[in-house]
Structure 1
Amino acid sequence: MRVSSFQTGIFSGPLNSKIGQHRVHPTCVVREEQVSERKFLMHHGYIEIRAKASAHPTNVSALWMIGFEDKPENSSELCIVEIKGWNIESNKAIIGYGIRKFQDPKLKDEFYEDPFELDVTEFHTYGAEWSPEKVTFFLDGKVIRTINQSPDYPMQMMLNIYEIPKAEKTRNPEHYPQEFIVDYIRVFDLKNSNN
Structure 2
Amino acid sequence: MNLEVLPEPPGRAPDLSDDFAGPALRDDVWIDHYLPHWSTPERSRARYDLDADGVRLRIDEDQPDWRPEDAPLRVSNLQTGNFSGLAGGERGTHRHRPDGLTVRTPAGTRLLWTPSAGRIDVTVSASLDEGSMLAAWLVGTEHLDPRDSGEICVFEIDAAAIGDGASTARIGIKAHHDDRLRTEMIEVVVPVTASEPHTWTVIWGPDGTVIGCEGLVAGRFEQAPGYPLVLMLDLFETDGRSADGSTYPKSARVHRVLGWDLTPA
TM over 0.5: yes
Which of 73, 85, 97 lines up with 1:13 in the alignment? 85
Task: Give, as a single letter, the amino acid of the residue that structure 1 aligns with 2:88.
Answer: N
- Give the Cα separation in 2 of the matches to 1:175 and 1:67: 35
Q: Number of residues paired by the alignment?
A: 190
Distance 2:219 2:226 in 1: 20
Does 2:52 correspond to 1:52?
no
Is 1:66 paired with 2:169?
no
Structure 1 equivalent of residue 163 of structure 2: 89
| TM-aligned CA deviation for residue 75 of structure 1 | 0.4
1:111-147 CA deviation, whole Å, 9 max, x = no partner? Answer: 1122234210111110011121211111100112210
1:111 aligned partner: 185
Matches within 5 A, 1:135-154: 135-154=209-228
Cα distance, 1:93 vs structure 2: 1.7
Structure 2 residue runs of 5 or longer lacking an equivalent are: 1-72
Q: Residues 174 and 31 from structure 1, CA distance in 2 versus in 1: closer, same or farther, beyond 3 angstroms?
A: same
- Whether the 8 Å CA contact 2:116–2:262 is kept in 1: the answer is no
Instruction: Name the aligned partner's letter for residue 224 of structure 2.
Output: S
Percentage identity across paired residues of the two chains: 29
For 2:260, the aligned partner's letter is F
> Counterpart amino acid of 2:112?
K
Secondary structure of the structure 1 residue equivalent to 2:246? helix
Q: Offset at 1:88?
A: 2.0
Equivalent residue, structure 1, for 2:150:
76
Please identify which structure carries the higher strand content.
1
Q: Mind listing any 5+ residue stretches in structure 1 that lack a counterpart?
A: none
The alignment's TM-score, normalised by the length of structure 1, stands at: 0.90
Residue 229 of structure 2 aligns with which residue?
155
TM-score (norm 2): 0.68
* Matching residue of 2:48: none
1:132 equivalent in alignment to 2:196: no
